[in-house]
Structure 1
Amino acid sequence: MSVPNPQQPELPPLSATDFRIYNQLADKMEYFHTMLRHSWDIQWTAATSGRRPQGMSIRQFIAEGLRFASHLETHHAIEEQHIFPHLARKMPEFRVGRGKNNAELLRQHKLIHAGLDGFREYLERCLSGEEDLQMDVLRGKMETWKDVLWTHLDQEVRTLGAENMRRYWAKEEIGGIPF
């Protein structure tokens, strides 16, 4: 739900058709985020229960974790290189700045990747045989960035939602946003 901004006038309700047009980026982002959440949940459930999913070997489990890391890194790279710069033309939520002037969603990316790097490096060491996979260690590698990841996934979809998008973009412009 959007919070009223006294600097912006109250907008009339959207028709169902206009809502679908303005909400299409949020819908697409939610699709990708659902896949990322599912992959995270496989790793997190095992790390917190101490047991891999039934029928999944250690190598398969580690490979699944590395796939998750790769998918998240690729997803963020596409956002930062193609989608966010376009959105930043009109939306401060996506503007690059220095330090605290960097958009919150971009600051979240940095925090996520700080934890993701440790997660990926640990799984790579386990895959190579340098370390044995220990679920409590994996959990520790995930706990440091769990909250910021889940906050980010939800916040990004809300930011791309119809009520926010229509404050910045004409209906005809939505289709021209790279996604």
Structure 2
Amino acid sequence: MPSTTAAAAGMASSCPLPEDGTPQQKATPRTSPPPENDADTPVVEPELPKLSAQDFRVYNRLAVMMDAYHNHFRYTWNLLYQTCTSGSRPPGMSLRGLISQGLHFCHALTIHHTIEEQHVFPELAERMPAFGVHDHLVTQHEKIHEGLEKLEQYLDGCRSGERELRLPELKEIMDSFGEVLWMHLDDEVRMLGAENMRKYWSKDEIMSMHW
């Protein structure tokens, strides 16, 4: 076994000495600090177990209810819009009947959104950011109601006789908010779907929600 003196001599010979005879320390390589988490990197959520058919129905019940409401709005919208594009009213429907359908659409959708904003969204927003006051779905409501007000004013004028109903004008008003309306009708149902709701609520909590 080498002596301590020999080992020290070996270390000294492997390190060049400066003029003052003090051994130089070997430089430690510098490494860059680990990168911080990138805010743009998507967060991968853990995969949840597959729902049974019964559990799926429970978690999906609000989406089914909402879609049923929305189908009424889709039906009336399509009736009005197809009249605009075809240039003729549905068989057996008078001009006054068409105007009444349009006004009913405006009133019903306004009431529907008012109930959502006062009762439904605040409860959901406690855990689901998309239903927050300044978030996606409420912003869509605001854009929709800008168009609804124009549509209601136009149809009111037609009903009172202040103006004549012209289908190109009606279509132009509907086109001004149709895209955001249809997007909203789908987005809202999707957010209430089983796979999304199960992330935030238990089955018992969902069953206790009555709107």
The reply to whether TM is greater than 0.5 is: yes
Superposed, which structure 2 residues align to 1:1-179 within 5 Å? 6=43, 8-96=45-133, 102-179=134-211
Contact kept, 8 Å, 1:52 with 1:61, in 2: the verdict is yes
What is the distance in 2 between the residues matched to 1:51 and 1:140? Answer: 16
Query: What amino acid sits opposite 1:165 in the alignment?
Result: M
Query: What amino acid sits opposite 1:143 in the alignment?
Result: D
Q: Secondary structure at the match of 1:93?
A: helix
Q: Secondary structure at the match of 2:60?
A: helix
Q: Secondary structure at the match of 1:12?
A: coil
Query: What amino acid sits opposite 1:142 in the alignment?
Result: M
Shift of 1:7: 5.1
What is the distance in 1 between the residues matched to 2:107 and 2:135? Answer: 23
Q: Secondary structure at the match of 1:56?
A: coil
What is the distance in 2 between the residues matched to 1:103 and 1:20? Answer: 27
* TM-score normalised over the length of structure 1: 0.92
Shift of 1:74: 0.8
Higher relative contact order (CA 8 A, sep 6+): 1
4+ aligned runs moved over 2 Å, structure 1 = 5-8
Query: What amino acid sits opposite 2:154 in the alignment?
Result: Y
Query: What amino acid sits opposite 1:13 in the alignment?
Result: K
Query: What amino acid sits opposite 1:71 in the alignment?
Result: A
1:3-26 CA-partner distances (Å, limit 9, x unpaired) = xx6353211111111100000000
Shift of 1:139: 0.2
Query: What amino acid sits opposite 1:82 in the alignment?
Result: H
What is the distance in 1 between the residues matched to 2:79 and 2:108? Answer: 14
Q: Secondary structure at the match of 2:97?
A: helix
Shift of 1:48: 1.4
Query: What amino acid sits opposite 2:73 in the alignment?
Result: L
1:31-90 CA-partner distances (Å, limit 9, x unpaired) = 001111001111101111121112111111100100011111111111111111110111
Give the helix-richer structure, 1 or 2.
1
Shift of 1:177: 2.0
Rg larger in structure: 2
Structure 2: 5+ residue stretches without partners: 1-41
Query: What amino acid sits opposite 1:121 in the alignment?
Result: Q
1:178 to 1:88, Cα distance in 2 relative to 1, 3 A: farther
2:21 is aligned to none
Contact kept, 8 Å, 1:83 with 1:178, in 2: the verdict is no
Percent identity between matched residues is 49
What is the distance in 2 between the residues matched to 1:8 and 1:85? Answer: 25
What is the distance in 2 between the residues matched to 1:168 and 1:9? Answer: 14
Structure 1: 5+ residue stretches without partners: 97-101
